[in-house]
Structure 1
Amino acid sequence: MSGGGPGAGGATGPEEFRRVLRYLRPYIPRMVAAGFCMLGVAAFTGVFALLIKNVLDDVFIRGDRFMLTLIPGVILATFFLKGLFYYGQQYLMGFIGQGVIRDLRGEVYDHLQEMDLRFYQTHPTGNLVSRTLNDVNLLKETIDTSFTSLLSDSITLVTLLGVVVYRDWKLALIAFGVAPLALWPIRLFGQRMKQISRRSQETIADLTDFLTESLAGHRVIQAFTAEARARERFAAHNQLYFRKLMKKTQARAFTSPTVEMIVAVGAVAAVYYGGSRVIAGELTPGTFFSFLTALIMSYQPIRKLGNLHVGIQEGLAAAARIFQLLDEPPGICDRAGATELAPFAREVRFESVSFRYEEEWILRDVALTARAGETVAFVGPSGGGKTTLVHLLPRFYEVEEGAITLDGVDIRTLTLHSLRGQIALVGQDTFLFNTTVRDNIAYGRPAATEAEIVAAAQAANAHTFVSALPNGYDTVVGEQGVRLSGGQKQRLSIARAILKDAPILILDEATSALDTESEALVQEALTHLMVGRTTFVIAHRLSTIQQADRIYVVDGGRIVEAGSHAELLARAGLYRRLYEG
């Protein structure tokens, strides 16, 4: 996924800015309408500055009663129309900013869904959450504030400058002759802000990661009475982020007064020169105060535009982190010309399969066959590669050497959707979503009927306890199923796999963490689930796989023994030592 266009994650500021602008394309009609509203705001701002001459010269100096009657109504109409245009400008730009951020956040989430297990093993969850929420929100502030200011304040400033020049071009030249000097601090503080912002976003990512980890591990923290240590670590992260934010605040605080001071020098010179000309009778008071009003009103857009570069650099720092994530290609994806997997019918084959993680080989020369309807089991010491082996089948990892075929077709030539659609997984660490029992069971088949959901729960020995829940199948199970016991969560996981009705089943130590009673219920449910399916079982308790058609003993990333339970016991090898030990 390109993230809105080509470009490396380390793109320069202008490139990042151009990439952000690409997300504005769907909103061009609204941008045109917003631009029209901005012109209206600028125009009526200029009209008010022009009216000051009439107020002073016609009303106060000449005492024109007609103008006294007319001008108040004109001023009210000016502010009313300006208000209407301002509302339209703010609403439209807010819609555009929120829409762009919605699109970008959605693209980040879609991209994360395509990433493989290796990506998630090397990127902490808190860091990814921070990029999806904090970085995108920071970019939202840039679009909402900086981009709006770039357009509206520039148009307003040009309009007011037109009034200033129209009233007296010599005074205008004096007032704004020092303006180029303001570019130096704007550029200096902008560069510093980008560096500080990038570091602060990295800091909040670390803070988010620690918070996510500590909340998920609160039981361990309490069990080891490590609350004080956790508080100290959080306080350290929090204090570091505070210091980064204060540096950002300092950079922002310096920009505005520095620019204002430079501009004030020109304003003071213009006031002195203009006042001298009024005293000399070369300018009317109305002309001069109209000039002065436009000049003073121009300071607000000048100040905003002075801070604009700082705000844009802050947003570009966030954009760089977002695009760096979007530019990271998925490690596993559909190849060009990938085909759909036909309904599985014959066999799964591992043909001299090898796999490594970074430089370390995890599996070497694994060869095995599982025919349709067979159950094959994998046993062996911890860390031997059993889980990695079965995770190669749904392509959670990619084979480094050799091939895995389904009915003679290399799985790397198949679409991921069609491949994984024919595989169901029940693991040791059951994950349930914070939604209802019904939604969790039907996760693999959202269109399943109520009768099918109940039948799956019954087959998984889950219907009885689900019916006893406060709201039955409409009971919300809590985050990761926290309101259920381990055995209950596992049976819902089995019901989910039963309802998916995939021909290939992976059971990864599905009963190892359960008590005896729960294991018996889960094992009975697994027996129902395995009927008629090609099943790959990883077992810690060897008593659960004695009826497997074949048992493979995996040690050091290699298959060291293979056969039935009786055959392996007779060989007096590693399997027998594991069984007896």
Structure 2
Amino acid sequence: MAGKPYFYALRSTVCNRPGWLSRFLDLLKPYLLRLMLAGLCMIGVSAFTALMAYLIKPAMDDIFVRKDIRMLKVMPFVVLAVFFLKGLCQWASDYLLQHVGLSAVASLRRRLFHHILHMPLSFFDRESGGVLISRITNDVQEIQNAVSKAVTGIVRDVFMVLGLVFVIFYQNWRLALVAVAVLPVAFLPLFVFGRILRRLAMKGQQAMAQLTTVVHEAFRGIRIVKAFCREDHEKKRFDSRNDNYVRYARKSAWFDALSSPLMEFIGSIGIASIMAYGGYEVIMGRATPGSFFSFTGALLMLYKPVKSLSKVNSFIQRGIASLERVYAVLEGSDGVENTGRSRLKPIKKRVDGFVEFRNVTFGYGEEPVLKDLSFRVSPGEIVALVGPSGAGKTSLVNLIPRFYDVWEGSVLVDGVDVRDMDLEYLRRQVALVTQQSFLFNDTIRNNIAYGWPHPDTPPDEEAILTAVRLAYADEFIECLPEGLDTVVGEQGVRLSGGQQQRICIARAILKDAPILILDEATSSLDSQAELEVQKALDNLMRGRTTFIIAHRLSTVLRADRIFVVSEGRIVEEGSHTDLIERGGLYARLYRLQFSGLSDFSKSSSATQ
């Protein structure tokens, strides 16, 4: 079916993606000039390090063996100058590389967050919030460590190795061949442990994502946790995920800790061989003590950067694993939302509100939820959608702002297929009030201003006050110590359910969209709060094409038409009176709901 979700397109994209090295290079490409400057400074570091090793020869031979007083006067100042210039280059290179690493990763974090915001809802249906938070925080942090620390170490150490290799070959090429022959063996742990560390890093990041999910869910649902006395259960969940992460971290630490002493031991084989062979050369008079100690000093300096490479290896492997996880999101099979080809935006700023479903079929998995739906709603008409839970009512209204795309058929607004409309423009034409009133942990003013339809201009204060008044929210806002500047708390916890809903209605009023969707907007409220919210909804619905989803049939009596949805189809259509007279599904639902209320009232009266 056309437009069917990822079930038909699901396939691995890992093999089709570029390698991790090319991705790192893409991250660093915008900072090429700074990298070149850092590289020049690194060359300076390696050159001065090599010069320090070389200066051992004249210091030993001219000062301590030949007792040259002129060299004694000059050499201390030369050594000071070399150390100063080396330190200056070291500072500049480290700062530039840290700057590049922080900037590159900040850009990647921004790109990842922006990309996730534009992913379709099917992506969020599948991925948990904790996993996504882990991608943006933990994974990106590991990439930052790889770029800032590992790249710094690699560039510095590689240049240092090259400079020192030149010195040892210049001093004694025969001894140098013995030393360099050991280097490939010394590097062996890097290659052997590298693959193990990368695999462990990938599993460790997955374990951290699971841990973050548990924390995210526990804190967001803390009232449910406490209400059901499930603190111990959440502790066990956390401890299990935490222990799982620590298990992989310990394995990584084991291999990481082993690689450095192993390389050092292998390097000691080369040093012992050189000590024996070089000492024999000095005793036989084929080399001076100065040249031998200069060679030995350069060799000891050479093994230091080689050993350092083993330490940065763990940063690299964790960075590669995290980079693959981040790009799995950036290049995932879902892709970003199709923004459409705008044919309506240049014509008028506001649609009339004519909505048509034409042979629409849609679902989330293999089976369709909506089946061959067709109907028309005129501008300003109020339509109620009723029916059993799971009948497809919310799925139906979700297709209007293109939260999902249809499998077959089309949804039209003012005669234009929503898939051919600019997505941002389309969604500016639709206001939404849901059962779960979502408020940001911000002031009431800013929560209402979130609906301001002109993002390029600051919200108009008078428009906000008008929205507050029409939503009947001014009554309780005036009683708050800070009024509109009151912070509502996490998920609006400092306000009652009815107050939260009226803030959401004020936000929708401020948006002033011609199409309105009310998805169970009053079902979670008590009778008194529902009456207050209903007055606000009456103001909100005035002059707008409105879709009302409600299980409480008392809230749909004012609708112009009622659609009864069952098993993905509209089985009845008409006014409340017409549907009651027909005696179909709507009449049965109505009698069931109100007979239950009547029986409850009689029972209460009898008890009294």
Q: After superposition, where does 1:428-447 map in structure 2 within 5 Å?
A: 428-445=435-452, 446=455, 447=458
Output one character per residue of 1:310-346: Cα deviation in whole Å (capped at 9) or x when no partner: 4323221111111111111446733664434442125
Query: Do 2:353 and 2:544's aligned partners in 1 also have CA atoms closer than 8 Å?
Result: no
Structure 1 residues 346 and 451: alpha-carbon distance in aligned structure 2, compared to 1, 3 A threshold: closer
Residue 35 (str. 1) matches residue 42 (str. 2): no
1:105 matched residue in structure 2: 109
TM-score normalised by length of structure 2: 0.91
TM-score (norm 1): 0.95
Could you give the per-residue CA deviations for residues 397-435 of structure 1, whole angstroms, max 9, x where no partner exists?
Answer: 111111111111111111111110100101001111122
Measured after TM superposition, the shift of residue 463 of structure 1 is 2.2
Q: Find 1:296's aligned residue among 297, 300, 303.
A: 300
2:271 equivalent in structure 1: 267
1:352 to 342, 359, 369: 359
- Structure 1 position 561 matched with structure 2 position 572: yes
Deviations 1:233-288 (A, max 9, x none): 21111111111000110111121122222121111111111122222332222211
Separation (CA, whole Å) in 2 of partners of 1:423 and 1:258: 65
Aligned to 1:4: none
What corresponds to 1:312 in structure 2?
316
Q: Does 1:362 align with 2:362?
A: no
Aligned twin of 2:462: 451
Question: What do residues 342-392 of structure 1 show as CA deviations (whole Å, max 9, x unaligned)?
Answer: 421251111121111211221112222111111101111111111111011
Separation in structure 1 between the aligned mates of residue 277 and residue 51 of structure 2, nearest angstrom: 24
Alignment of 1:9-88 (within 5 A): 9-11=13-15, 15-88=19-92
Q: Return the offset for 1:567.
A: 0.9
**What is the CA RMSD across the aligned residues, in angstroms?**
1.8
Match of 2:417 in 1: 410
Change beyond 3 A, Cα 1:332–1:551: farther
**1:35-68 deviation per Cα after TM superposition (whole angstroms, max 9, x unaligned):** 1111111111112112222222222222223222
Choose which of 251, 266, 285 in structure 1 pairs with 2:255.
251
Task: State the distance in 1 between where 2:427 and 2:113 align.
Answer: 20
Report the equivalent of 1:3.
none
Question: 1:178 is paired with a residue of what secondary structure?
Answer: helix
CA distance in 2, matches of 1:95, 1:339: 45
> Residues of 1 paired with 2:464 and 2:40: CA distance?
56
Paired residue type of 1:456: A
* 1:579 and 2:586 correspond: no
Partners of 1:331 and 1:66 lie apart in 2 by 73
What's 2:174 paired with? 170
Matched, 1:228 2:193: no
User: Which letter maps to 2:382?
Assistant: T
CA contact (8 A) 1:146 1:311 kept: yes
Residues of 1 paired with 2:562 and 2:328: CA distance?
45
Question: CA offsets, 1:196-253, max 9 Å, x none?
Answer: 1111111111111111112222222222222112211211111111110001101111
CA distance in 1 between counterparts of 2:357 and 2:98 reads 55
After TM superposition, the structure 1 = structure 2 runs for residues 389-428 of structure 1, keeping only pairs within 5 Å, are 389-428=396-435
1:432–1:480: 8 Å Cα contact kept in structure 2?
yes
1: CA distance, partners of 2:335 / 2:327: 17
Are the structure 2 counterparts of residues 518 and 14 from structure 1 closer, same or farther at C-alpha, using a change threshold of 3 Å? closer
Q: Which moved more, 1:334-343 or 1:186-195?
A: 334-343
Q: 2:390 aligns with which of 383, 393, 402?
A: 383
- For residues 157 and 168 of structure 1, the distance between their equivalents in structure 2, rounded to whole angstroms, comes to 16
Task: Check the 8 A contact 1:504/1:535 in 2, yes or no.
Answer: yes
Moved more, 91-100 or 77-86: 77-86
Q: In the alignment, does 2:284 pair up with 1:277?
A: no
Amino acid at match of 2:39: G
Q: Deviations over 1:489-533 (max 9, x none)?
A: 111111111111111110001111112222122111111111111
Equivalence for 1:472: 483
Q: Distance in 2 between matches of 1:87 and 1:67?
A: 30
* Unaligned stretches of 5+ residues in structure 1: 1-6
Distance 1:51 1:82 in 2: 14
Note if 1:123 corresponds to 2:127.
Answer: yes
Name the SS of the counterpart of 2:368 in structure 1.
strand
Call closer, same or farther: CA 1:329–1:107 in 2, change over 3 Å.
farther
**Letter in structure 2 aligned against 1:370:** V
How many residues align structurally?
A: 575
